[in-house]
Amino acid sequence: MRHKNNIRPDLGYGLGLRTDHYEEILKGEPNIDWFEIISENYMVEGGKPLYYLDQIAERYPLVMHGVSLSIGSSDPINMDYLKDLKKLEARIKPKWISDHLCWTSHGGHNTHDLMPLPYNQETLNHVIERVSQVQDYLGRQILLENASSYLTYKASDMSEWDFISEIAERADCLILLDINNIYVSGFNHEFDPKTYIEHIAPEKVWQIHLAGHENNGDYIIDTHDHPVIDEVWELYDFALQKLGPVSTMIERDDHIPPLSELLAELDQARLIGQKYAK
């Protein structure tokens, strides 16, 4: 089934919702257009996580971002997980749901890491079938994010940008483009990040992630614990030239700074975005 009404909404500029900021958000209602939540953190029965989430959902648009869908795993889709995901979706009515183009589990064991996929026809067919299964169950399109990676397989025979583009096209899903991840993987695998962005169909990209990383000299780790670096801001500018306005957010997962610091980073994204606003 092809999904209709494929007009990209522009939510503006958002942040990843983090527990450190709950009170400040509720008291101050800061200048943030929307929040992204880590779905698994709220797939619980009650208590503080859902208490705060319900209140923030009343005030801001939310999107759900998962880390454990394991769309590329050779294990069967975890239907208990999907059921819980759908329950959370019904509760907070997110603008969309995303996860990563990777695998996280095998043989019933979870790595809790975003493991890379071999980019070839076998994987392509496998992932496309599973995306369809997930979208049919949820009754909506999902967004898949390009994950950072530190190795490539001998079994790969296509580029990551061709791989994700073909999945988005054939599975009729959407893309969450992480600009930092493109930069990180470009460094680790020695490709030009701009080539990646140039090959992505603009209408498929519904969300952009911006984040920081840890540069170890010979390789970069996607730690999400630093501010966005200048090279990634430039790449974001380049991406918006190609894609047009896209809902953008800053993703910080560790060493969470005061909200004011993240708001300043978000203002930087706004400044760049204003150049390409329609």
Site map 77..106 versus another protein, x via CB under 8 A: -x--x---------------------xxxx
Rule CB under 8 A: is residue 48 a binding residue for another protein? Answer: yes
107, 230, 260, 278: which one binds another protein (CB under 8 A): 107
Neighbours of 79 (CB within 10 A): 10
Give me the least distance between CB of 172 and another protein, in Å please: 22
Rule CB under 8 A: is residue 46 a binding residue for another protein? Answer: yes
Q: Which is nearer to another protein, 11 or 69 (CB)?
A: 69
Q: Which is nearer to another protein, 3 or 112 (CB)?
A: 112
Query: 74: closest CA among 48, 46, 105?
Result: 105
The C-alpha atoms of residue 201 and residue 50 are separated, in whole angstroms, by 36
Give me the least distance between CB of 92 and another protein, in Å please: 16
Rule CB under 8 A: is residue 58 a binding residue for another protein? Answer: no
2, 27, 154, 278: which one binds another protein (CB under 8 A): 154
Q: Residue 7 carries which DSSP code?
A: P
Length of the chain: 278
Give me the least distance between CB of 249 and another protein, in Å please: 22
Q: Which is nearer to another protein, 105 or 135 (CB)?
A: 105
Site map 163..182 versus another protein, x via CB under 8 A: --------------------
The C-alpha atoms of residue 126 and residue 167 are separated, in whole angstroms, by 10
Neighbours of 8 (CB within 10 A): 17
The C-alpha atoms of residue 160 and residue 186 are separated, in whole angstroms, by 10
Q: Which is nearer to another protein, 5 or 107 (CB)?
A: 107
How far are the Cα atoms of 24, 38, 90, 157, 248 from residue 52, in angstroms, in the given order?
11, 14, 16, 46, 23
Rule CB under 8 A: is residue 68 a binding residue for another protein? Answer: yes
Q: Which residues of 241-270 are buried (b: 16+ CB within 10 A; e: fewer)?
A: eebebbbbbbbbeeebbebeebeebbebbe
5, 27, 76, 190: which one binds another protein (CB under 8 A): 190
8, 10, 89, 152: which one binds another protein (CB under 8 A): 152
What residues have CB less than 8 Å from 187, skipping those under 6 apart?
A: 219, 220
Q: Which is nearer to another protein, 81 or 276 (CB)?
A: 81
Number of residues that bind another protein (CB under 8 A): 47
Give me the least distance between CB of 13 and another protein, in Å please: 29
Query: 148: closest CA among 200, 189, 197, 185?
Result: 185
Task: Enter the tokens of residue 265.
Answer: 């980073």
Residues that bind another protein (CB under 8 A): 40, 43-51, 68, 70, 72-74, 78, 81, 103-113, 115, 117-118, 122-123, 126, 150-156, 188-190, 218-219, 221
